[in-house]
Amino acid sequence: MSILDKIDLKGQRRSKLSGKTFEQLREIIYRETGIYFQDNKRYLLESRVSRRLKALSIDTFEEYASSLQNGRRSREIGCLINAITINETSFFRHQSQFDVLVDHLVPALVKERGESATLRLWSAASSTGEEAYSLAILYVERLKPRFPKLRVEIVATDIDTNVLEEAKDGRYNGYATRNIPPAWLRKHFTPEGKHHRLNDDIRKMVRFKQVNLSDRTSMLRMRSFDIIFCANVLIYFDDESKKQVISSLYNSLATGGYLFVGFSESLYGVTQAFHAVRLDKTIAYQKV
């Protein structure tokens, strides 16, 4: 047990994140990810980074920040990113977006590209995979019966390597699966204690890889997508990184393709490049 553990058990904090070190860490995280910790998020950052101090048996945030500047930086930076990301997600999180996709967007794309088209779907910032697997289930349940020759390729990416491993594993708790219609849950999952494991046929439909949305070079490799979901991640970026990420996503879309962002997010004031298509209670941003 480290000194930190002993002190934690007594309910005391060994090290506090000073204003200066907060700014240093915030700058590193911003540079690497585009995520910007506002001043009022200092305690959130402190609690997230304290996990790394504990794992490395480092006593102070100052020591940790300076370790990021030296040789250990590149490996530790990945661990730091994994520690600070917020990974909240669930299956069919924004149901109306999926309905719009199935009822309007895919039929329009099929009409334009033909019944034997292959549509490329991307869950950008996929976290533990629920959004991407929701798309796979929708394809099997609602698209294939209507368009039997249609094919889909589903790619899911995240910056956080821990969540990508969990996504590949495909094991979910009741909170994650709560919005799945019971018949689909029975059909596509196998109960494992308190969890449900996704069956292989759906799991194999999604390809996971690490992509940092703020890394222009990696983003250049993500091309020709027909539908992109980039939901509930823009909120963590400042205006500048939001603009950069949205511009990369625009370039990643095929002409005529659509981008969805989270319900609390909007491209208002970020870009005018897209055509906002309003359907039911949902906005899809089209590259025209």
Instruction: Give the nearest distance from C-beta 82 to ligand SAM in angstroms.
Output: 8
Please confirm, yes or no, whether 48 is among the known catalytic residues.
Answer: yes
Q: Is the four-CA dihedral 229, 93, 109, 278 of positive or negative sign?
A: negative
Please confirm, yes or no, whether 158 is among the known catalytic residues.
Answer: yes
Instruction: Give the nearest distance from C-beta 51 to ligand SAM in angstroms.
Output: 15
State the catalytic residue, choosing from 14, 93, 158, 203: 158
CB closer to ligand SAM, 87 vs 251: 87
CB closer to ligand SAM, 147 vs 236: 236
> Rounded to an integer, what distance in angstroms lies between the CA atom of residue 283 and that of residue 73?
41
Instruction: Give the nearest distance from C-beta 147 to ligand SAM in angstroms.
Output: 25
CB closer to ligand SAM, 109 vs 132: 132
CB closer to ligand SAM, 218 vs 271: 218
Interface residues toward ligand SAM, by CB under 6 A: 33-35, 85-89, 93, 125, 127, 131, 158-160, 163, 212-214, 231-233, 236, 262
Grouping H, G, I as helix, E, B as strand and the rest as coil, residue 265 is coil
Give the contacts of 118 (CB within 8 A, at least 6 positions apart).
Answer: 150, 151, 152, 153
> Rounded to an integer, what distance in angstroms lies between the CA atom of residue 98 and that of residue 179?
12
Give the contacts of 4 (CB within 8 A, at least 6 positions apart).
Answer: 14, 53, 54, 57, 59
State the catalytic residue, choosing from 14, 26, 48, 52: 48
Structure tokens at 37: 């910790």
Please name every residue paired with 122 in a beta bridge, in sequence order, or none if there are none: 155, 228
Name the residue among 244, 230, 247 with its Cα closest to residue 34.
Answer: 244
Instruction: Give the nearest distance from C-beta 122 to ligand SAM in angstroms.
Output: 11
Residues identified as active-site: 48, 158
